[in-house]
Structure 1
């Protein structure tokens, strides 16, 4: 049995290593789950974020790496059980010159420019917080948004708080990560992410969900995710949701 999973360049969740292989927390989790349900061949397809949902919906691949679950997305694809819960954050230049720590803080400064990847939930979050369209720059690739922060074209790049912390560690002293304040933008608990599939692929969906129920929160799962910086902070909220 072969399964093709699409991913994007977004450490620590997924990226292409120097030797050309795909790696990352989400791909490692997918590998463990798919092998456990009897998949013998796993192929990886690098794509852009804006193509993830369209690609799996059209059957160009079998599943996507986890992305945030929203009603609009759930109308197009089928989601697995949630696998992580992560709040938003900013990547900014060192020292955070404009003191940006939430979408509201961007909206309050007309001279602040915010970078977002096309199609990601951060765009809606920023708009709902009152950030004018003229202050938002949309990028197709994360690498372009990062370079825009470093060059000063934008003042902050919005993504997951965890992802930005990893990026800041890799890039070095030129940038820093800023976690959004707890409870900012009206979020009482971090949003969840899940694998997504073509809605007609019920056999794979059910098999993946069955294994996720067994595996999520286990010692092996936590150890695998810790290698990529995911901790109980990102894992436990989805386990708590299942127990309610």
Structure 2
């Protein structure tokens, strides 16, 4: 049994290593779960964020790496049980020259430019906080956004705080600011996604996820990529 899974270049969740192997927290989680349900071959497909949902809908691959679950996306694909809950953060040039600490702080400065990967939930969060569309620069991929940040074309890149920490730790020119938790105190959740016609694979993955999430092995594997109790506890009993 072979499963084709699409992924993006977004450490620490999924990326292509220097030896061309595909790695990351969610890649490892997918491998553990898929092997446990009898999958003998896993084929990785690198794609763009905007192609994730159309690709799995059209059968170009069988499942997607976890992304944030939204009602709009759930109309198009079937999501697994949640595998993490992540808050947003900004990746910025060292010193944070425009003192950007939240979407609201971007909205308050007409000269602030915010980088976002096209189609991600961060755009909705920015707009809800009053960020003007003219302040937003959309990119096809995370590496493109980081290159623009380093070149001074944008002032901040909005992504997950966990992902931004990993990038900042590897680049002394950058730093990260995690956003304050919402009043509800709940971070958005992420999950694998499948074609709605692929119910058998979804059910098998969900059954194994329910057994595995929150286990000692799961926590140890995720910790190696910087995911802690904060990101895992609220979904481990889903």
Task: State the TM-score, normalizing by the size of structure 2.
Answer: 0.98
Which of 208, 219, 229 matches 2:226?
229
Which of 214, 230, 233 matches 1:217?
214
Cα deviation code 1:52-104 (max 9, x no counterpart): 00100111000000000000000000000000000000000101111111101
Cα deviation code 1:15-39 (max 9, x no counterpart): 0011111000000000000000000
Residue of structure 1 equivalent to 2:141: 141
Gaps of 5+ in 1: none
Matches within 5 A, 1:91-102: 91-102=91-102
Aligned to 2:170, what secondary structure does the other structure show?
Answer: helix
For residues 105 and 68 of structure 2, the distance between their equivalents in structure 1, rounded to whole angstroms, comes to 23
Divergent runs of 4+, >6 A: none
Q: Is the 8 A contact 2:62 2:195 kept in 1?
A: yes
For residues 141 and 202 of structure 1, the distance between their equivalents in structure 2, rounded to whole angstroms, comes to 30
Cα deviation code 1:113-149 (max 9, x no counterpart): 0000011100111011110000000000111110111
**CA positional deviation for 1:158:** 0.2
For residues 59 and 103 of structure 1, the distance between their equivalents in structure 2, rounded to whole angstroms, comes to 36
Aligned to 2:176, what secondary structure does the other structure show?
Answer: strand
Gaps of 5+ in 2: none
RMSD: 0.9
Matches within 5 A, 1:173-184: 173-183=172-182
**CA positional deviation for 1:187:** 5.2
Is residue 150 of structure 2 the alignment partner of residue 150 of structure 1? yes
Task: State the TM-score, normalizing by the size of structure 1.
Answer: 0.96
Cα deviation code 1:159-214 (max 9, x no counterpart): 0000000000112x21101100122xx55210000000000101000000000000
Which of 190, 200, 204 matches 1:203?
200
Is residue 150 of structure 2 the alignment partner of residue 164 of structure 1? no
**Corresponding residue pairs, total:** 238
Aligned to 1:157, what secondary structure does the other structure show?
Answer: strand
Residue of structure 2 equivalent to 1:116: 116
220-229 vs 186-195, which moves further: 186-195
